[in-house]
């Protein structure tokens, strides 16, 4: 079965901070970054690895977003999350890569499969793309990412590390 993912801005930024953004295309058969998501990442004031990836190799994954799905008519969340959810609803079989709690709840209520940034790192370890998930997860913790220590520790355990 093909593994197809559509990714939001915060995972691009966080996976960049973790030093593993370049592995995202290797974790599946198809990757999409909606154009609005790419614009959101690039609009940041500071240059970062996520932006650099989108300006380089990651730029080939940027695609125009579909029209806003009717499910999102009353959505008060971010435009990037809306694009990711709309894409996944319009293209069955895509996994939505989202970190925002409200967006994840909405996507789950629509029956969409989900991954978060931390789980992407765990998958990279499972597939042998990185030797240790802990190193990437610790980079996240040290980069000022808004991820709790508890979530980092759960991801480390999920990766089979201590």
CATH number at residue 27: 3.40.50.1010
| Total of domains in the chain | 1
Residue 161 predicted with pLDDT over 90: yes
* Contacts of residue 42, Cβ cutoff 8 Å, sequence gap at least 6: 51, 54, 55
pLDDT band at residue 107 under the 50/70/90 scheme: very high
Q: What is the pLDDT of residue 9?
A: 95
Residue 86 predicted with pLDDT over 80: yes
Q: pLDDT averaged over the chain?
A: 92
Domain that holds residue 23: 4-118
d(CA 145, CA 131): 22
Is residue 59 included in any domain, yes or no?
A: yes
Is residue 158 included in any domain, yes or no?
A: no
Is residue 142 included in any domain, yes or no?
A: no
Is residue 139 included in any domain, yes or no?
A: no
If you average pLDDT over residues 128-145, what whole number do you get? Answer: 89
If you average pLDDT over residues 36-61, what whole number do you get? Answer: 91
Is residue 134 included in any domain, yes or no?
A: no
Q: What is the pLDDT of residue 73?
A: 87
Is residue 67 included in any domain, yes or no?
A: yes
Residue 1 predicted with pLDDT over 70: no
45 or 35, higher pLDDT: 35
Of 30-39, 95-104, 111-120, 145-154, the poorest mean pLDDT is in: 145-154
Q: What is the pLDDT of residue 61?
A: 98
Is residue 28 included in any domain, yes or no?
A: yes
Is residue 113 included in any domain, yes or no?
A: yes
């Amino acid at each position: 079965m093909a593994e197809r993912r559509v990714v939001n801005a915060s995972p691009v930024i966080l996976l960049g901070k973790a030093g593993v953004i370049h592995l995202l295309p290797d974790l599946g058969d198809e990757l999409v970054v909606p154009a609005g998501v790419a614009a959101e990442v690039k609009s940041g004031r500071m240059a970062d690895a996520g932006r650099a990836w989108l300006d380089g190799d990651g730029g080939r994954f940027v695609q125009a977003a579909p029209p806003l799905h009717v499910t999102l008519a009353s959505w008060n969340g971010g435009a990037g999350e809306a694009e990711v959810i709309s894409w996944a609803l319009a293209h069955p079989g895509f996994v939505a890569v989202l970190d925002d709690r409200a967006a994840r709840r909405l996507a789950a209520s629509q029956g969409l499969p989900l991954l978060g940034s931390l789980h992407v790192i765990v998958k990279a370890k499972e597939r042998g793309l990185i030797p240790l998930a802990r190193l990437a997860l610790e980079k996240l913790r040290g980069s000022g990412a808004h991820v709790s220590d508890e979530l980092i520790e759960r991801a480390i355990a999920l990766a089979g590390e201590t």
